[in-house]
Every structure is written in C-alpha cells, then in structure tokens.
C-alpha cells in the first residue's frame, strides 16, 4: 500500500491545478460579522490539490490540528475519515495483483469506515501526509472486521463504467484522446456514501495537566429497520496508541483499541474467539446517549456531524441533525437543524449538556462547521450551499462562510445563511471555490473540514499568516487517478483553499 500512497502524494504536488483556474471578472466582496467585516472572492485566492488517493482509498472530512509543541508528535496532526482496512489478498495471488483494486465502492451501510491519523510538518501543510488507521468499524460496531465491497478482478462492472465514461465524453464533444480518461458521470449506479460521518479531535484539559487529546467520532448502529448515528469516544496522548471507551460490567472503561476484554486476556488458544469490544455511546449529563434524531434505511443515516471549539475552557460541540418531525419525509425533504452542546471535560462521563437548537429548518443534507475565528472574538460558521445561479448542469455547489458579531450563541442564530426559498440552499455568502470539478464544470464540496489549533479554533499554515482560514473538501465529480468512474467516493481528489477576511471600510 505504500507505493500507491506515495504515488498519490507525488501526483498531488505535481498536478496542474485545475485549482488555479480563474473565474474571470473582478473580485467581489460580501458583508459579514454584524456588518463589521467583509470576505472578498478573487481569482488569486490560494487553492490547490490536497490529496489524490489511489482507487482503493478515500479521504473525507479532514481536520488539521496544530499542537502546542513544534517537535514530535507536532507541529501538525491530521485526522480524517477513510475506508475500513481490507482483508489481505486471497492466497496464491501474485504480489501486488490485488494490492489496490480499482472498483471498490462504499455501498454497505454496515461497513462504516476508519479514522486515520498522521503527523505533518509545517512546510508540507498543504499536502496530505502518510497516515495510519487508528480505529475502525470492528470497534465502532462490534461486528467483526470491516471490509469494503469486494470487487472481482477485471470486473465486468469496471469495464462497463469505463465504456460509459468514454461514450459520455463523445456525446459531450470531448471525445479526443486527451479527454477519454476524464470522468463525466460523477454518480455511481447505486447509492454510495461514507455512512460513518466524521471525527473531531481537540485537546483535553491540558491547563489542568491532562495529557490526552479527545476524539469524538460518529458511527452507525442498527435501529429498528434502519441505522442511526451514534457518538463514540476515544483518546490518545502520543497519536500512536489509542484508547476507546467501551461498555463494561458495570459502566464503561478505557481500553486500547484492539485489546481483548479483560476476561478473555488469559484464555488459552483454541477456546473460542474473543468477542469484539463494543464502544460505549457518549452520554449527556442526564444519562441519555448522544444519538441522531432519526433512524434511516441504507446509507441515509445523518446527524451529529460537526466540530468542537474550546472558548474560556468550555467545549462547544456544534452539529447538524435532521429535524425530528421530518424523520419520515423523503430524504431530499428532511430539513436539518444546527445544535450545540457544551462540556467542561470531553473525556469524562456524563458531562455534555442537552442540545440547544440554534438554527432550525436548514436545507436537507446541510453540513456545518463552527469555530472561534482566528484572532477575533467571533464565531466562524462554514456551511454547505449553492451559488445563487444555476447552470445547465444544475446548481453550482460551494462552501459558504459567515462570521458572527460576537461569541454568544444567539449571534449564530441571528445569521441569515440562505436566500429564500431556504430549501433550495442558495446563498450569496459563497467563497467562490475554483478547484476540482469534471470536464463539464460540475462540482461537489463534500466532507469539508479545516485547520484548527489544539482547541478546535481556526488556524492557518505558516505560509499563509494573513489568511482567515484553511479549508479542505472532497470533490466527488473530479477525475480519479485511474480515469475510471467505479466510485464517487473511493479515489476522488481532495482540495484545499484559503480565504481572506478584513475589517469593512468605513463609509465616506
């Protein structure tokens, strides 16, 4: 697996950046921060390619974390959701024959995904570093090793996908040899998604001597006839080993991921396989598990995806979830809401407050990230949106951004995020991202994340000291490294961009 990963990194550094394509025209600004700030879109805003994973991997929801110390394990650590580790190739296969199959898909809602973590040096902050899976579905669901949907070698589906991609290229008038390998159908034939959501990392109470970093990750669990999101908890102090909070008798306990239960540790070989440890759901201060509002069939489970930000030694967990009254509505009509919970210690039990609703009736599938703004006593609120124009391929996906007037929760509620009708998801506060897309100019901005300090508040790479922040996102329409269209998740590139925020000039 090392060679494909290295090849991807080299390609990421060498790709001509579609990232640098200009939109044309002069820069345009919009007002935010209670009319005190402005964010300007310009053709020279820094953007680039962050990762081009091989066809057997995916990168989703990246958080880049700046640690307190510049030496190992710092200065930066990267955490993101990825594919679950696959089982070894079948016996007798030639070396490398199935090392990286090209037609993997995320089509099983029970598979889940892995949390990968890796150290990064400052000078390469805009390129995904080598990472290792730290925990995955076996621990999240207690259902045995996870594996992606196994492809057949030289599968008929893979050949058919390539033929259809070439035919779409010819129909679009792009059928020359230089374009034959481009992807024109971004969506795979069957629904495909990462069903596990995201992972959020933040320093523990280091001001009180706590050496651990907390990881809150979303998983899915069976619920009725569908699946439901659930929040689970892990910790690490060296970014190598990782402890998972698991169910015990009585209560819960921290246990190294992959370790057998205590009663199984002395069991002799041949007396049965140890049961997989089952992670304990995070409980709020009332003793209720923190789970998604709705159970949903297949890959439709949503909720709990968000971010954690520490302000005045209080941990703020912001996340979106489906409005409870819309649980039975069609997927495209399930409105979302933004919630907030707070805690004084993310590693202790029963410390999170009940949810407070900050914004109701957001468009379906809305994702949001909230963090304390860099160098300001304001919240920065990033959210999925579409530009207020529609082209022949449909709405133009983007990431929108607003700053609040202050750090009160009410300042988030006061924001106007979308134009009417809200369900359409259009907004004039879009960043104007240029990177990615297919040959027909269609984009997605999925699984976005950003760079933070160890407390989850906005930060930037040292090479961009004057920027307001550093974003990453997955584009499911951008071409894969192998030119195929086998998956809209596996092998799709991840991009990065910065933005500029400044005080609004006083009116003459």
C-beta atoms surrounding 68 within 10 Å: 11
User: How far apart, in whole angstroms, are the C-alpha atoms of residue 15 and residue 119?
Assistant: 23
User: How far apart, in whole angstroms, are the C-alpha atoms of residue 122 and residue 74?
Assistant: 9
Q: Which two tokens stand for residue 64?
A: 């880049």
Please name every residue paired with 398 in a beta bridge, in sequence order, or none if there are none. 385
Give the three-state DSSP class for 206. helix
508 residues of the chain, pLDDT tens digit each: 333 443 444 344 333 333 333 333 457 899 999 999 999 988 889 999 999 999 999 999 999 999 999 999 999 999 999 998 876 544 444 444 457 888 888 887 777 789 999 999 999 999 999 999 988 864 444 333 333 333 333 344 444 544 554 554 454 444 444 333 333 333 334 457 655 678 999 999 999 999 999 999 998 888 887 899 999 999 999 999 899 999 988 889 999 987 766 555 455 444 444 455 789 999 999 999 999 999 998 888 999 999 999 999 999 999 999 999 999 999 999 999 999 999 999 999 999 999 999 999 999 999 999 999 999 999 999 999 999 987 776 789 999 999 999 999 999 999 999 999 999 999 999 999 999 999 888 899 999 999 999 999 999 999 999 999 999 999 999 999 999 999 999 999 999 999 999 999 876 6
pLDDT score of 173: 44
Closest CA to 321 of 341, 306, 299, 308: 306
CA trace torsion 286, 288, 289, 293 (10° rounding): -120
Closest CA to 111 of 58, 169, 40, 53: 58
pTM over 0.95: no
Note whether 97 and 153 are within 8 A (CB): yes
Q: Which two tokens stand for residue 135?
A: 């925990």
- As a whole number of Å, the end-to-end CA separation of the chain is 61
Give the three-state DSSP class for 114. strand
Note whether 406 and 33 are within 8 A (CB): no
Strands 379-391, 394-403: pairing kind:
antiparallel
Residue 291, exposed/middle/buried by CB under 10 A (0-12, 13-18, 19+)? buried
pLDDT score of 143: 38
Helix and strand numbers, DSSP H then E, in the chain: 4, 23
pLDDT score of 421: 95
pLDDT score of 106: 86
- The sign of the torsion formed by the CA atoms of 128, 183, 149, 368 equals positive
User: How far apart, in whole angstroms, are the C-alpha atoms of residue 161 and residue 363?
Assistant: 32
- The CA-atom distances, in angstroms, between 14 and each of 9, 19, 365, 477 are 9, 12, 34, 20
User: How far apart, in whole angstroms, are the C-alpha atoms of residue 356 and residue 229?
Assistant: 18
pLDDT score of 503: 95
475-486 burial, b for 16+ CB within 10 Å, e for fewer? Answer: bbbbbbbbbbbb
pLDDT score of 163: 55
Note whether 136 and 114 are within 8 A (CB): yes
pLDDT score of 270: 45
Note whether 99 and 469 are within 8 A (CB): no
Note whether 290 and 303 are within 8 A (CB): no
Q: Is the peptide bond before 394 cis (omega within 30 degrees of 0)?
A: no
- The CA-atom distances, in angstroms, between 238 and each of 1, 211, 224, 310 are 24, 9, 39, 21
pLDDT score of 15: 39
Q: Which two tokens stand for residue 88?
A: 């070894």
pLDDT score of 107: 82
User: How far apart, in whole angstroms, are the C-alpha atoms of residue 479 and residue 53?
Assistant: 11
Closest CA to 499 of 450, 426, 453, 428: 450
pLDDT score of 435: 95
């Amino acid at each position: 697996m090392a060679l494909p990963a290295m090849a991807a990194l080299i390609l990421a550094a060498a790709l001509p950046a579609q990232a640098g394509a200009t939109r044309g025209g002069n820069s345009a600004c919009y007002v935010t921060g209670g009319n005190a700030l402005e964010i300007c879109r310009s053709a020279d805003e820094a953007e680039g390619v962050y990762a081009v994973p091989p066809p057997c991997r995916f990168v989703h929801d990246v958080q880049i974390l700046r640690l307190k110390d510049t030496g190992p394990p710092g200065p930066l650590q990267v955490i993101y959701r990825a594919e679950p580790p696959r089982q070894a190739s079948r016996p007798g296969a030639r070396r490398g024959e199935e090392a990286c199959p090209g037609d993997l898909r995320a089509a099983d809602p029970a598979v889940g995904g892995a949390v990968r973590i890796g150290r990064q040096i400052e000078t390469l902050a805009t390129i995904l570093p080598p990472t290792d899976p730290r925990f995955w579905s076996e621990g999240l669901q207690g259902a045995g090793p996870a594996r992606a949907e196994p492809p057949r070698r030289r599968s008929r589906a893979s050949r058919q996908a390539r033929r259809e991609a070439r035919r779409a290229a010819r129909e679009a008038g792009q059928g020359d040899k230089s374009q034959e390998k481009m992807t024109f159908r971004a969506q795979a034939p069957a629904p495909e998604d990462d069903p596990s959501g995201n992972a959020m990392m933040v320093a523990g109470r280091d001001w009180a001597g706590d050496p651990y970093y907390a990881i809150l990750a979303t998983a899915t669990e069976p619920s009725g006839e569908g699946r439901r999101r659930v929040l689970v908890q892990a910790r690490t102090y060296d970014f190598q080993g990782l402890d998972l909070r698991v169910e015990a008798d009585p209560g819960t306990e921290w246990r190294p991921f992959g370790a057998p239960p205590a009663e199984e540790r002395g069991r002799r070989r041949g007396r049965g396989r140890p049961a997989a440890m089952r992670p304990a759901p995070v409980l709020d201060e009332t003793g209720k598990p923190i789970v998604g509002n709705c159970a949903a069939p297949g890959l439709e489970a949503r909720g709990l995806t968000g971010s954690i930000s520490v302000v005045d030694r209080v941990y703020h967990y912001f996340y979106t979830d489906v409005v409870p009254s819309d649980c039975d509505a069609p997927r495209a009509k399930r409105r979302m809401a933004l919630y907030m919970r707070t805690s004084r210690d993310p590693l202790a039990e029963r410390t999170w407050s009940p949810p407070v609703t900050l914004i109701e009736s957001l468009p379906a599938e809305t994702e949001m990230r909230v963090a304390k703004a860099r160098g300001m006593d304001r919240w920065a609120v990033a959210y999925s949106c579409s530009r207020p124009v529609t082209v022949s391929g449909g709405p133009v996906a983007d990431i929108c951004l607003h700053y609040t007037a202050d750090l009160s929760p009410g300042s988030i509620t006061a924001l106007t995020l979308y134009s009417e009708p809200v369900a359409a998801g259009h907004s004039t506060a879009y960043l104007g991202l240029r990177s990615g897309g297919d040959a027909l100019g269609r984009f997605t901005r999925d699984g976005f994340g950003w760079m933070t300090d160890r407390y989850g508040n906005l930060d930037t790479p040292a090479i961009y000291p004057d920027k307001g922040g550093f974003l990453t996102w997955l584009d499911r329409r951008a071409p894969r490294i192998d030119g195929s269209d086998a998956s809209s998740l596996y092998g799709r590139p991840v991009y990065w961009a910065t933005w500029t925020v400044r005080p609004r000039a006083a009116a003459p």
